[in-house]
Structure 1
């Protein structure tokens, strides 16, 4: 089943669906509001039971050998015309050096196979788990209720019943003896989950969810959390609801960071309020110097985010501005993803790294983002030219990482090793490659966010989205109740309408970014991953801005890991 573009920044790759590779998922019919999934890890054969292959020698008949040689020669002659001819055709010669911005390369990279555990590529057991999670979600949102015999019915109303719904939601996933905080909940998501159910109404959580979906297939959102929690529905629910709480109540992702964006930060730089001015300047400094930026694709078609670690100094920017830029970059990367490419690659450029560049606080925040709030969004992490002093630092950081996330980290010493992940012709010259790209920041110009003032159009598109999401929920209930064939097709059409609605509303609800100005993000969600290097615009050179706006360095201590 084809799907619309889905959610950035994986949690448990590089091998897709690693949880299922290690666990056997069994479909189960659970009682109403019970969603625990029991899995039994499979274990590789012990070294003690591995036996070397037994090689048996035999005499070879010379006549048989001659016949085999003759057959091989004949096969080679036939294959010569099938294989050699196309390669000799210069028009199809893939070994020719690509230009810096080659559309055929982009098209090739954008069409990998759909990975397992995604919409359109689910096993029957996985689809059952998806249905169970949708039922749990719709119950928490006050959209569906379960009767005593386990049948599901639409909720008669959501108005005026918030207190009653809160009570039922708390009982739905209330704390039990096995639901206490433990070592597996290192980011405190169970606490956030219960806070969300206690402080937010069903309608508020529902609104947060459909805002979170954006241009993605709603199924893809739920499946990210299910894969991250190895298809344990209750654990996935805890993770997703806590993420909604984090987005809406803590980070204000959609009503502040993405809504106001770079234009607001630039305006804040001239504010008479010292604190507001500081936050605006800190935000813009990081964008202008190119501490991190998005450019190009890796060999799997994943968007690449480059982080130039040498440009960071502890204390130069506030912790709040560092977190805002991190979330801003992750959310922007989400817009570059596709249904069949739903993760991104981060390249940490450690060139000229020193202990003055090490800052554990933003590292911890980034880890929490990918492990807790953007699951299954990180495809790979490439650490480029790390010096020997980073070895001790890595031991500390590795201890904070989930083992699966740590398994995505690859250390590369130069362009040759980096070319195993990114085509050499697309590696930027700054990293020893052939692509002459140099980061330049396109400054906000004019009233680029002027459409946000058109509240009438914005509200009309918002009302249309509510109508589509309502219909999607009703169709999902029918799909859960067994009307699979007709409901599945209807749900796909509604998911496509949601994606189209988002891109129509995008200029009214999201501030323009440097990637919009450069033409990376285009109308209706079209993406040109290399446009940042090709579109002429008013720019700020990264090196010049680094010198012009960077405040004095702050003394740091090498053993400060808190």
Structure 2
């Protein structure tokens, strides 16, 4: 399957120039100003130079604030891109969540290294270029707006939702532990998180005709007020982050099926809907391939008019209404439509509880530190090589460097799956075999599709990264 236009492996010269421009701005925000700094190989300071460090640090801080003010020409004749405007000056419809206002505040309150760490933590098993391209496409290749969105997302992940140091790190096992806490508030959060998993309020299973992972949401199982707002948010982020791990190039999006069977007004809850819309538009750009609203009753028509008004037109255009299995079959092969939705696949969701000791590896500090050190070295080499690639602009040398960067991106992918067992709590999808310990993805694992003889076994490896 070829990469779609605007994706890694299918970029126009102009789009590739925008990617170089975006990397230049991003690395500057990280306080990375040159190839030596990028690789962490600066010459050690002498005693005479130590007194100048504070002055230089202040100068670097000013440079970060002036990311888009240093050059007036967007593109030089060599094909090297340089940003031109301060993104915090943007006032337009694209900034519906006020991210531009946050931009300068984030740069003034978070260190370059903390932002750099947040970015590489967010990358996980992704190709770094592919991640940046998501933000560029979402902002119609406007580098300034894409940078604002990226920086805001890094703050959201690390400071607001604590995606990597809580939701992913503790996961289901952490929720089980919390559910036994003596603290009523902590206990409630843990119980609520697990309740949604045990109910099967939503789950991942299979792929659609485009090879996109399918996420099913049984709307009838949600009752407003049954779970705390925080537990609903953590659960939503947990599902999205798990889905991210199942994506393999050239597939970069998922298909969500909202099963509205037996929907009543008791199931309608605008708060989590708003949260879901916000994070897909602001923090997980270009992640939705299609949204199927299945068997919605007439009462939902008025609700949809309200929700549609909140959606970005591009996202709204991905929403399709289906009434029966024939409608679903336009998007999902009938053999992969579960019997619950009148399809042919004999599969049903049954939650498997966390297994005692499944996260014990996360306690092994020395092996984790060794893998993290390996990753840090590879990240710094990738940054250094990116500087070289940017400096070459276009031509034979630039193409050679681009291929070397792709090779290093594959090494980063391999490294992530070595690190995964130390930084991500095991999930239902690990227990069923959908996610293998080496990053292999099997959307129809034998243990999860027992009794189904007409569903093909589809396995993809971590090696499939671009």
TM-score range (shorter-chain normalised) is 0.7 to 0.9
Would the alpha carbon gap of residues 399 and 459 (structure 1) be closer, same or farther in structure 2, given more than 3 Å must change?
same
Deviation at 1:116, TM superposition (A): 1.4
Give the SS at the match of 1:340: coil
Deviation at 1:192, TM superposition (A): 2.8
Matched, 1:426 2:333: no
Structure 1 unmatched runs, 5+:
1-111, 147-151, 537-562
Matched, 1:121 2:35: no
Matched, 1:265 2:265: no
Q: Who is 2:210 aligned against?
A: 300
Q: Who is 1:527 aligned against?
A: 441
Q: Is the 8 A contact 1:145 1:155 kept in 2?
A: no
Q: Is the 8 A contact 2:88 2:101 kept in 1?
A: no
TM-score w.r.t. length of structure 2? 0.86
Deviation at 1:163, TM superposition (A): 4.3
Deviation at 1:185, TM superposition (A): 1.2
Matched, 1:212 2:122: yes
Match of 1:399 among 286, 289, 309: 309
Give the SS at the match of 1:445: coil
Matched, 1:242 2:137: no
Q: Who is 2:416 aligned against?
A: 502
RMSD: 2.1
Would the alpha carbon gap of residues 280 and 204 (structure 1) be closer, same or farther in structure 2, given more than 3 Å must change?
same
Deviation at 1:115, TM superposition (A): 1.2
Matched, 1:489 2:403: yes
Q: Who is 1:474 aligned against?
A: 384
Deviation at 1:157, TM superposition (A): 8.0
Match of 2:369 among 447, 456, 459: 459
Match of 2:31 among 142, 145, 148: 142
Matched, 1:255 2:165: yes
Q: Who is 2:427 aligned against?
A: 513
Structure 2 unmatched runs, 5+:
45-52, 70-84, 451-466
Deviation at 1:182, TM superposition (A): 4.0
Deviations 1:450-488 (A, max 9, x none): 100111011111111110010001111111111403211
Deviations 1:491-522 (A, max 9, x none): 01110110000000100000000000000000
Q: Is the 8 A contact 2:212 2:255 kept in 1?
A: yes
Deviation at 1:118, TM superposition (A): 1.7
Give the SS at the match of 1:203: helix
Give the SS at the match of 1:346: strand
Deviation at 1:166, TM superposition (A): 2.8
TM-score w.r.t. length of structure 1? 0.72
Match of 1:166 among 49, 58, 61: 61
Query: What is the alpha-carbon distance in structure 2 between the residues aligned to residue 470 and residue 179 of structure 1?
Result: 31
Q: Which has the higher mean CA deviation after the structures are superposed, 523-532 or 420-429?
A: 523-532
> Across the two proteins, how many residue pairs are aligned to each other?
420
Q: Who is 1:68 aligned against?
A: none
Q: Who is 2:247 aligned against?
A: 337
Q: Is the 8 A contact 2:388 2:401 kept in 1?
A: yes
Larger Rg computed on CA atoms: 1
Query: What is the alpha-carbon distance in structure 2 between the residues aligned to residue 534 and residue 513 of structure 1?
Result: 14
- Structure 1's consecutive aligned runs of 4 or more residues displaced over 4 angstroms after TM superposition are 152-163, 173-178
